[in-house]
Structure 1
């Protein structure tokens, strides 16, 4: 893993966003002098997410159980009802997204992150603190991206964990098909039993292959909803049985209706920071 990557700078009202991307890794730097997002729902996404708070006021991420993390936060795949609180005022935050195929060797303990929000310190120890200190000392987003990219490169070089090729194949198939491939089919493609696939995939990705497919499909659906597509057409295009099925899945993952999710400030920023074809 090299430290190089593609960068771009974009803006939305009130926010300045710069991004960095390379295969399996994406970063966005958010800055705002006076935003009003004192409480914002974090919409689940098919990546492992790391947040570095660089603002003047503490930004706290709270999970469904009320556990709170601040400063350096890791959210596993599909965190349940997670919210960001205290973002109002002058804010700066670096968000890192890792493919689960990199998250397992770089973060480790994927199964322990299942739907959880934890402190990066619990995974990286004092290195997490040192990285944040370097991020605060850096004055530009490209310099900050370089700090994180260098840390990832070091950890990748020293990693002792690797993802099974069979698990990697199944994850890529799920993402390529929008989550619309049966687990039995995946097991047959890699020559594993369904039970073995379920076990190895869960240990290395953090969720079952079935839930991974649901999450990937949900992600595509909510971004289409946020882009203004009607719920009925989104349900058809994303492979849901009907609009009621879409409603149930969105509510299950996001804790909100499709209409509420479509208006999410989180997705509005997400769409600009990482514009992708869905």
Structure 2
């Protein structure tokens, strides 16, 4: 376990674990979270250029509100275009998975256009396999065992599912046809996908303390107000507040491959 200790920071008490090896499938990354505490913690989920899956294996489900009707869940899947939403949780134990859209389609079993901006119970996608997976994670003794269970589940589902059209992965069609198929299988237009990648790059630069003016210039925004508009649109809050969101501030520990480059999740994986 790698605990996060930042004094008065809300992530005090968080423990984050990384897999000992890369996932079997390209375009898959995962991290384990254990959040201690005797009282509920309010967290904001921020859109990311990957499909997010969270499998909770403790005794207390997430309480989710903001993106859709309020719901309680041990496991969920969030599409690329979801609106920022609040998660209330107490004593979280979960594996969070980030899936490239090209992997998410066969793994989840639905075109991402159907997932769209929704947050969906994983039980609705995987049926009885979801509680079975949670139970196996709960009884696993170590994090490497849990990551191996997730890795095997994803690999099995990927090879049994329908892959994304190669023309979409390589963007090799005419503009009109490609945009149509891209939207139906990825769940976003190419333009919206590019905006999400740019936002993700910018907001992580802000988390690391870079000046807003420099971030706007380096990330290709017309000006600082353009950056403010995108931050508000994707995160539902101000740039200052977004830069201090716990789920973003722990990213360099949970997802160390993110680095300073544009997120690779929306790029083709081979």
State the alpha-carbon separation in 1 of the partners of residues 174 and 170 from structure 2.
15
3-state secondary structure, aligned to 2:37: strand
State the alpha-carbon separation in 2 of the partners of residues 32 and 258 from structure 1.
25
State the alpha-carbon separation in 2 of the partners of residues 242 and 69 from structure 1.
40
Query: 1:112 aligns to what?
Result: 114
CA-to-aligned-CA distance 1:26-48 (integer Å, 9 cap, x gap): 11111132276621110110111
TM-score scaled by length of structure 1: 0.84
Runs of at least 5 residues in structure 1 that lack an aligned partner in the other structure: 1-8, 171-189
Q: Conserved in 2, the CA contact under 8 Å of 1:79 and 1:117?
A: yes
3-state secondary structure, aligned to 1:233: helix
Query: 2:241 aligns to what?
Result: 260
Q: Conserved in 1, the CA contact under 8 Å of 2:76 and 2:121?
A: yes
Structure 1 residue 113, shift from structure 2 partner = 1.0
State the alpha-carbon separation in 2 of the partners of residues 277 and 72 from structure 1.
28
Structure 1 residue 194, shift from structure 2 partner = 2.3
State the alpha-carbon separation in 2 of the partners of residues 234 and 105 from structure 1.
35
Structure having the larger proportion of residues in helix: 1
Structure 1 residue 78, shift from structure 2 partner = 2.9
State the alpha-carbon separation in 2 of the partners of residues 45 and 69 from structure 1.
22
State the alpha-carbon separation in 2 of the partners of residues 28 and 213 from structure 1.
25
Query: 2:157 aligns to what?
Result: 155
3-state secondary structure, aligned to 2:18: strand
Query: 1:65 aligns to what?
Result: 68
Distance 1:141 1:35, change over 3 A: farther
Whether 1:223 aligns to 2:215 is no
Give the counterpart of 1:79 among 77, 82, 86: 82
Ranked by relative contact order (alpha carbons within 8 Å, sequence separation 6 or more), the top structure is: 2
State the alpha-carbon separation in 1 of the partners of residues 175 and 181 from structure 2.
10
CA-to-aligned-CA distance 1:59-89 (integer Å, 9 cap, x gap): 223243324241110000031132211x23x
State the alpha-carbon separation in 2 of the partners of residues 201 and 222 from structure 1.
25
State the alpha-carbon separation in 2 of the partners of residues 100 and 211 from structure 1.
14
3-state secondary structure, aligned to 1:34: coil
3-state secondary structure, aligned to 1:80: coil
Whether 1:143 aligns to 2:145 is yes
Runs of at least 5 residues in structure 2 that lack an aligned partner in the other structure: 6-12, 261-270
Q: Conserved in 1, the CA contact under 8 Å of 2:63 and 2:70?
A: no
